Amino acid sequence: MRVPQFDLTNQTERIQAEIHVAIENVMDHRQFILGPEIEALEKDLSDYCGARHAVGVSSGTDALLLALMALNISPGDEVITTPFTFFATAGVIVRLGARPVFVDIEPESFNLDVAKVEDVITEKTKAIIPVHLFGRCVSMEPLLKIAKENNIHIVEDDAQAIGARTDQGLAGAIGDAGCYSFFPTKNLGAFGDAGMVVTQDEILFNRLKKLRVHGSTEKYVYEEVGGNFRLDTLQAAVLQVKLKYLEEWTRKRMAHAHTYDSLFNNSVISDDNVAPPEIPGNNHVFHQYVIRARDRDSLRVHLKEKEISTGVYYPLPLHLQPCFQSYGYNKGDFPESETACDEVLALPMFPEITTEAQEYVVQTIRGFYS
Ligand SMILES: *Cc1c(COP(=O)(O)O)cnc(C)c1O
The closest residue, in CA terms, to atom 6 on ligand 1 is 60
For ligand 1, say whether the CB of 176 is within 6 Å of any of its atoms: no
Q: What's the rounded Cα separation, in Å, for the pair 292 and 67? A: 33
Condensed to tens digits (0 to 9), the pLDDT of residues 172-181 reads: 999 999 999 9
For ligand 1, say whether the CB of 189 is within 6 Å of any of its atoms: no
145, 196, 205: which is closest to 171 by C-alpha?
Answer: 196
For ligand 1, say whether the CB of 131 is within 6 Å of any of its atoms: yes
For ligand 1, say whether the CB of 159 is within 6 Å of any of its atoms: yes
Indicate the DSSP class of residue 235: H
CA 195 to ligand 1 centroid distance, Å: 9
What local confidence, expressed as pLDDT, does residue 271 receive?
Answer: 67
For ligand 1, say whether the CB of 88 is within 6 Å of any of its atoms: yes
Global pTM?
0.97
Mutate to test the pocket of ligand 1, among 137, 179, 181 (most ligand atoms within 8 A of CB): 181
Q: Pick the residue with more confidence: 105 or 282?
A: 105
Q: Report, as an integer, the average pLDDT of 209-236.
A: 96
What local confidence, expressed as pLDDT, does residue 44 receive?
Answer: 98
Q: What's the rounded Cα separation, in Å, for the pair 310 and 5? A: 5
345: CB partners within 8 A, 6+ apart? 290, 291, 292, 293, 296, 299, 300, 310, 311, 312
CA 66 to ligand 1 centroid distance, Å: 14
**Contact, 254 vs 353, CB < 8 A?**
no
96, 289, 170, 33: which is closest to 180 by C-alpha?
Answer: 170
Mutate to test the pocket of ligand 1, among 86, 111, 196 (most ligand atoms within 8 A of CB): 86
Mean predicted lDDT score pLDDT of the chain = 96
Contacts 24+ apart (CB under 8 A), 271-276: 273/369, 274/365, 274/369
For ligand 1, say whether the CB of 67 is within 6 Å of any of its atoms: no
- pLDDT over 70, % of the chain: 98
Amino acid identity of 16?
Q
Residue 87 predicted with pLDDT over 70: yes
**Contact, 341 vs 315, CB < 8 A?**
yes
**Contact, 55 vs 213, CB < 8 A?**
no
What local confidence, expressed as pLDDT, does residue 282 receive?
Answer: 67
φ, ψ dihedrals at 245, nearest 5°: -100, -5
CA 270 to ligand 1 centroid distance, Å: 34
Helix/strand/coil for 81: strand
Condensed to tens digits (0 to 9), the pLDDT of residues 6-38 reads: 999 999 999 999 999 999 999 999 999 999 999
What local confidence, expressed as pLDDT, does residue 265 receive?
Answer: 86
Q: Report, as an integer, the average pLDDT of 224-234.
A: 97
**Contact, 78 vs 125, CB < 8 A?**
yes
Amino acid identity of 100?
P
Amino acid identity of 205?
F
